[in-house]
Structure 1
Amino acid sequence: MIKEADPNKNNAKLKAIYNWMRRAKLPAQIIEIPKTAGVVKSNMNANIRNLTDLDVAWLGYHFFKKYMGLYVDTIFNFNEWNESRDFFLKLSAENAFRVVEVELNFMYDVLFTKLPVVYGKSGAICRIFSLVAVCIAIILFAFISKTKFWDTDVMITYALLFGALVMDTTALLMLLFSDWTIISFQKMLDRALHNSLKIKIIRVFLRCRTERKFQTETSTPQVTKSLRWSETIPSYNLIYCCLHPRPRLQGKIFDTLGLTNYLDSIVYVKSNSFSPDLKEFVFQELKSKALYAKDLPRAKEISSGRVDWVLKAEGWDNHLLGYVSDVDFDQSIILWHMATEICYNSEL
């Protein structure tokens, strides 16, 4: 996750060393070397108003590779920060969420799956060896004499062998048709041949794999929904949980069986659809903060802010700001969760 050393990413450490040398009365001078213009990827210059699925996949991978160092607290320079900021400010809410979806999928694969290992040489060899071994086992078992075995044992053995074959084949197909494979193929293709047959096949495959159309009850036209995630947001109602507690004896039984968290997720958690209007609202809020954060002090002000940002924007800071700044962060979350729930239900 740690990329090659970049002097611009160590500005804080460089400044500390510079101040220490100045206090020690040692000769020290900081010389700023102008950054040379690098090669810009063709997808970064794509039509941002009409991003294709291939553009979205490449852009998601581009920002994933650039910012995966954040997992290990790597410091980034302002050039990288400005690149991401300027790019997303030009996007629509729909395209911005599409790019972030791909980026988060890559993050999940790296942090919680074995895909980075599987895509190596050893992983590919193990995957092929596993599939070949299962096929050989099926062939050998089919030709050996089974007169000494019970028919039930033979059927179970065949079921297990063919089950292993189906699982290995499915895993191999999922691996071949994953975003990682798409990115690998795209690197090998000539980027100038954007209308080539291979590019068109990849685009059709991406469209079929990442989108589905469904009919809603309230709208006549079909709505396109992403297959990369459920497009739902789970919500937890603390007030309802406190007013409708589980009986004590029942709670003890569920605690003993380890089912409390699972049942709570069913009873007290509700999945709400992440509608396009909500996407637009969230994106516009983030966009307004990004437009305000033109320098580091303003960015720190926004990142360290709580509800006070909304209160100041709405002109309510004189009455309610104390309930945010004078309490702990966890208490502030619970307080404003309850206030939001009460205000929301009072307006229904």
Structure 2
Amino acid sequence: MVDVIPKPIKHVWDRWNIRGTIILSLTLQAILICFSPLRKRTPRRALIILVWSSYLLADWSANFAVGLISKNQGKDPKPDDPPQDKKLMALWAPFLLVHLGGPDTITAFALEDNALWLRHVFGLVFQAIAGVYVVLQSLPNSLWLIILLVFISGTIKYLERTTALYSASLDKFRDSMIQAPDPGPNYAKLMEEYKAKREARLPTKIILIDEPDKEHRPKKLVHPSLVSSAVAGESQHQPKPVGEKVGRKVLHDLEIVQYAFKFFNTFKGLVVNLIFSFRERDESLEIFENLHDSEEALRIIEVELGFLYDALFTKIAILHTIIGSLSRLVAFGTLVAAFVLFLLKPNKGHDFDGHDVFVTYTLFIAGISLDIISFILFVFSDWTCAALSSLKDNPEDALSSWVDQALNGLLWFRRLHWTNQTCDKDVHDCTTKCEKLCPEAHSHSHECTGTCEKLCPKAHSHYVLTTHFFFRRWCGSINVFNFLAYATKAEVKRIHDARSSFRRNSWKIIAYPFNLAYFIIQTLSGWIGDSIYAVHKWISHIVNEASRKYPSARCTIYPIYFGFLCRIPHVIKSVWDFFSDLLDISDTIDMVQKTLFVHGEPMTRELWTFIFKELKNKSKFGDSPENAKRISMARGEWSLRDNLPEGADREKLVRYVTKVDYDQSLLMWHIATELCYQQKDTFKDKEHYSYREFSKIISDYMMYLLILQPGLMSEVAGIGKIRFRDTMAEADKFFHRRHIEDAKNVKKASDTILKVESKIEPMGVKGDRSKSVLFDASRLAKDLKEMEENYEVDKWKILSKVWVELLCHAACHCDSTAHVEQLSRGAELINFVWLLMAHFGLTDQFQINKGDARAKLIIGK
């Protein structure tokens, strides 16, 4: 009989299979504990794939190793079997239980994993039974006390993971936030008293006393921690005049975390679609309206989203309880005690195989080291800061204790870091002029911003988010995708680039082989197709000529070629199309191709401030659930009607958002924004250019969400994919006829599109079969330009406000679980907007405007 597996390989496997799988399980644990916290800081696919594969393999490797040990313990050794230390391997089984408990930094890769908590309960039971079986097979065993200690540690860790999964499952997560049932006033008792009074002929009536709604509630005072100490001291002696703004205090880093934890406990109900009361709305609105600046709001929200991520994907929320902390202390103590006992055990080198002793030492040292890493992450987490301190009523006591000062010092390292960037030469084309007028000017200047702006009107500066990777709480960038750049295959240019030249060139070098391979495959496929067609045409001509001259050829060669041979390429193509549809190959290739045209724009402080102010202004009109819902439903019409002059034909632009579907409006406004962006513009001031930049970034970002993040746009996307493909097909056909398909120039493509006469609606010419919006967008761009020229309005100010509304509409209509899932992939701007809208009360989940009516029995006239 022929051995499929060579004997040397089989011998190595029989000798090292258990040791190898145990080392593999330990390696996977190290990968998870070190790399899983990074996935909320970056959307890099390589990191996500590494964590995903390690997460799936971790349980498999541990279970497989337990099975191998059980099999080895249960059989009698044969003469040719490799030596196995059954007594020492009995110690390895509870170590695998420790591994199955998983690291603290990840319990679930996706939200769906939390629903499998019951499977982990059964897994704990059967793994415990397997461990007991292994130990019993090794008795009598001098390591029984060490095995017991490790078994206790493993059981505790497995229980921690199961508890974390159970508490993070959506049903349990919802139940933990539902308050005790409220039966209301005692109706029966009240009616008995009412009946008795009426029978006694006493003048009696029942009145209902409602809790005051928003219009009748007294004006709330600002939380003391938001008021500067000087103003707070004055307010104790004399009231502030009506209408005068209260002084605002800059929040400490510790206070940011405290507010974030407070709001996390309030707004975590968004995940399971709970309804909030007006008290919760007013409390959040009061604090956010009185923050020192928009950056504080960004910092609160990023910490709040971090709490939400930890509660649903890690053990941290469970460990930051009294029981969780004690269980972790016991688990770590028993593991250290077991290691000390094993270290002090004499004659290990004589009683056991040296390789097995080394593996055991590795398990102990690595396990303790990973626990120490987990403890460090535990101590320096935002949860610890929130648990060890609380908001002070007196702002002067904010950092009164040494504990608060120490925690505030630790949080200082994680605060947002901004870098001023000016004069981007690729976008503004003013570097040469700046360098002539100001020798210090360069593309990333920090010192000469004011000089540049005075000497060069195009020069401006924005503060971009450049927090160090290991101190981030989210990715800090905005992914963008541009339709016309993709259609023309033009090189994507960044407005801001926070990366160094070395990093930028490194990524280009890494991506170059993939781009080259894709280009070669695309070129070869086109060349092969053209060659096959040319050969087919040449052979067809010969066969036709031969068939006319020779009757025998007409009966033999002609049917053989046209009936069989020439159909082979079509059959191959049909088979390829079948498997392509079955395996989604074409969609995968298309997605990869689109990904090449995606790049990240760093978040700018000015952009966030603009979004914050827009929502803050709208929150003034969201005083009732109906108004708040109306604001959240707006997708551009609010800003158009509010910012266009009264004499302008507002409905001419409003119909581009109210008369079309959301995805159609999104694609149309995106292309129109790019057409306007590519035209020459007169820079009036820095604010004008900022509006232009905001429009460009949000427009490209929304296109990225629509095309490459369908999960976040599932409820509003509609047939966006079909519209995109039809518009792309029309653009390809148009560019081909104008001979600009190889120009790779967005400016040239934009000018060509705008030159087309578009007074008649495209639907009136070509019907509605095609969902393309290319020339509808051209009409919109021309209408915007006409509105600007006729009424002297800033079209970029209007466009930027429209795009904020479109972004907010998508944010509040995105499924809450999709928002939470995105937190494990670096988070997106739309997640921050979603939570910011909740803080300002601009969501339909604030549906309780009045409290319960309370009945009161009145006796007398």
Q: TM-score, normalised by structure 2?
A: 0.33
Q: Deviations over 1:227-286 (max 9, x none)?
A: 32232112233444455596489x96x966x97699568523211111111122111211
* 2:483 and 2:671 in contact (8 A); partners too: yes
Residue in structure 1 matched with residue 258 of structure 2 by the alignment: 58
Alignment of 1:74 with 2:268, yes or no, is: no
Alignment of 1:233 with 2:478, yes or no, is: yes
Q: Deviations over 1:182-221 (max 9, x none)?
A: 1111149997844222221121121124456879772437
Residue in structure 1 matched with residue 598 of structure 2 by the alignment: 269
Given the superposition, is the C-alpha separation of residues 40 and 129 from structure 1 closer, same or farther in structure 2, using an over 3 Å criterion?
Answer: farther
Uncovered stretches (5+) of structure 1, i.e. residues with no partner: 11-26
Residue in structure 2 matched with residue 43 of structure 1 by the alignment: 225
* 2:486 and 2:597 in contact (8 A); partners too: yes
* 2:224 and 2:393 in contact (8 A); partners too: no
Q: Deviations over 1:29-80 (max 9, x none)?
A: 6421458999996535567431111211111122222222233333323333
Given the superposition, is the C-alpha separation of residues 344 and 99 from structure 1 closer, same or farther in structure 2, using an over 3 Å criterion?
Answer: same
Which whole-Å CA distance do the structure 2 matches of 1:188 and 1:287 have between them?
Answer: 24
The SS at the match of 1:235 is strand
CA root-mean-square deviation: 4.2
Which whole-Å CA distance do the structure 2 matches of 1:309 and 1:39 have between them?
Answer: 31
Which whole-Å CA distance do the structure 2 matches of 1:46 and 1:106 have between them?
Answer: 28
Given the superposition, is the C-alpha separation of residues 88 and 137 from structure 1 closer, same or farther in structure 2, using an over 3 Å criterion?
Answer: same
Which whole-Å CA distance do the structure 2 matches of 1:40 and 1:285 have between them?
Answer: 22
Residue in structure 1 matched with residue 374 of structure 2 by the alignment: 171
1:85 deviates by: 2.1
Residue in structure 1 matched with residue 336 of structure 2 by the alignment: 135
Q: Deviations over 1:314-333 (max 9, x none)?
A: 42742232222222223333
Given the superposition, is the C-alpha separation of residues 172 and 260 from structure 1 closer, same or farther in structure 2, using an over 3 Å criterion?
Answer: farther
Letter in 1 for 2:299: R
* 1:210 and 1:228 in contact (8 A); partners too: no
Given the superposition, is the C-alpha separation of residues 38 and 93 from structure 1 closer, same or farther in structure 2, using an over 3 Å criterion?
Answer: closer
Alignment of 1:102 with 2:303, yes or no, is: yes
Given the superposition, is the C-alpha separation of residues 269 and 158 from structure 1 closer, same or farther in structure 2, using an over 3 Å criterion?
Answer: farther
- Out of 672, 682, 697, the position equivalent to 1:339 is 672
Residue in structure 2 matched with residue 149 of structure 1 by the alignment: 353
Letter in 1 for 2:379: L
1:5 deviates by: 5.6
Alignment of 1:162 with 2:365, yes or no, is: yes
* 1:53 and 1:207 in contact (8 A); partners too: yes
Which whole-Å CA distance do the structure 2 matches of 1:243 and 1:29 have between them?
Answer: 72
- Comparing 84-93 and 270-279, the one that deviates more: 84-93
> Aligned runs of 1:289-328 on 2, under 5 Å?
289-315=618-644, 317-328=650-661
Q: Deviations over 1:6-29 (max 9, x none)?
A: 98xx9xxxxxxxxxxxxxxxx996
Residue in structure 1 matched with residue 209 of structure 2 by the alignment: 31
Letter in 2 for 1:118: L
Residue in structure 2 matched with residue 4 of structure 1 by the alignment: 179
- Comparing 175-184 and 237-246, the one that deviates more: 237-246
Residue in structure 1 matched with residue 413 of structure 2 by the alignment: 208
Residue in structure 1 matched with residue 572 of structure 2 by the alignment: none
- Comparing 117-126 and 51-60, the one that deviates more: 117-126
Which whole-Å CA distance do the structure 1 matches of 2:333 and 2:364 have between them?
Answer: 12
- Out of 203, 206, 218, the position equivalent to 2:444 is 218
* 1:232 and 1:271 in contact (8 A); partners too: yes
Q: Deviations over 1:121-178 (max 9, x none)?
A: 4433443344234434543554552355355x65555444433222211111211221
Which whole-Å CA distance do the structure 2 matches of 1:126 and 1:264 have between them?
Answer: 50
Given the superposition, is the C-alpha separation of residues 169 and 235 from structure 1 closer, same or farther in structure 2, using an over 3 Å criterion?
Answer: same
Which whole-Å CA distance do the structure 2 matches of 1:188 and 1:311 have between them?
Answer: 42
Residue in structure 1 matched with residue 795 of structure 2 by the alignment: none
Given the superposition, is the C-alpha separation of residues 215 and 327 from structure 1 closer, same or farther in structure 2, using an over 3 Å criterion?
Answer: closer
The SS at the match of 1:69 is helix
* 1:212 and 1:227 in contact (8 A); partners too: no
- Comparing 304-313 and 264-273, the one that deviates more: 264-273
Higher relative CO (Cα under 8 Å, sequence separation at least 6) belongs to: 2
Letter in 2 for 1:235: V
* 1:127 and 1:172 in contact (8 A); partners too: no
Given the superposition, is the C-alpha separation of residues 79 and 213 from structure 1 closer, same or farther in structure 2, using an over 3 Å criterion?
Answer: closer
Residue in structure 2 matched with residue 23 of structure 1 by the alignment: none
Letter in 2 for 1:306: R
Alignment of 1:123 with 2:123, yes or no, is: no
Which whole-Å CA distance do the structure 2 matches of 1:157 and 1:38 have between them?
Answer: 63
Which whole-Å CA distance do the structure 2 matches of 1:39 and 1:288 have between them?
Answer: 20
Which whole-Å CA distance do the structure 2 matches of 1:314 and 1:285 have between them?
Answer: 13
Letter in 1 for 2:474: W
Structure showing greater radius of gyration is 2
Q: Deviations over 1:56-110 (max 9, x none)?
A: 1111122222222233333323333223223222221111212222222222222
Which whole-Å CA distance do the structure 1 matches of 2:336 and 2:446 have between them?
Answer: 49
The SS at the match of 2:480 is strand
Which whole-Å CA distance do the structure 1 matches of 2:317 and 2:594 have between them?
Answer: 32
Identity %, equivalent residues: 28
Letter in 1 for 2:179: E
Given the superposition, is the C-alpha separation of residues 187 and 50 from structure 1 closer, same or farther in structure 2, using an over 3 Å criterion?
Answer: closer
Which whole-Å CA distance do the structure 2 matches of 1:59 and 1:238 have between them?
Answer: 40
Residue in structure 1 matched with residue 851 of structure 2 by the alignment: none
- Comparing 27-36 and 228-237, the one that deviates more: 27-36
* 1:43 and 1:59 in contact (8 A); partners too: no
Uncovered stretches (5+) of structure 2, i.e. residues with no partner: 1-175, 185-204, 230-247, 422-442, 448-462, 490-514, 526-575, 681-746, 748-861
Given the superposition, is the C-alpha separation of residues 87 and 268 from structure 1 closer, same or farther in structure 2, using an over 3 Å criterion?
Answer: same
The SS at the match of 1:292 is coil
Which whole-Å CA distance do the structure 2 matches of 1:123 and 1:317 have between them?
Answer: 60
Which whole-Å CA distance do the structure 2 matches of 1:141 and 1:339 have between them?
Answer: 72
Letter in 1 for 2:315: K
Which whole-Å CA distance do the structure 1 matches of 2:594 and 2:358 have between them?
Answer: 40
Aligned residue-pair number: 327
Given the superposition, is the C-alpha separation of residues 213 and 314 from structure 1 closer, same or farther in structure 2, using an over 3 Å criterion?
Answer: closer
Which whole-Å CA distance do the structure 2 matches of 1:260 and 1:133 have between them?
Answer: 52
Given the superposition, is the C-alpha separation of residues 240 and 37 from structure 1 closer, same or farther in structure 2, using an over 3 Å criterion?
Answer: closer
Which whole-Å CA distance do the structure 2 matches of 1:300 and 1:75 have between them?
Answer: 13
Which whole-Å CA distance do the structure 2 matches of 1:39 and 1:267 have between them?
Answer: 52
Letter in 2 for 1:2: M
- Comparing 288-297 and 301-310, the one that deviates more: 288-297
The SS at the match of 2:312 is helix
Given the superposition, is the C-alpha separation of residues 213 and 72 from structure 1 closer, same or farther in structure 2, using an over 3 Å criterion?
Answer: closer
Which whole-Å CA distance do the structure 1 matches of 2:332 and 2:323 have between them?
Answer: 14
Which whole-Å CA distance do the structure 2 matches of 1:266 and 1:164 have between them?
Answer: 39
Which whole-Å CA distance do the structure 1 matches of 2:596 and 2:366 have between them?
Answer: 35
Alignment of 1:286 with 2:597, yes or no, is: no
Which whole-Å CA distance do the structure 2 matches of 1:36 and 1:345 have between them?
Answer: 52
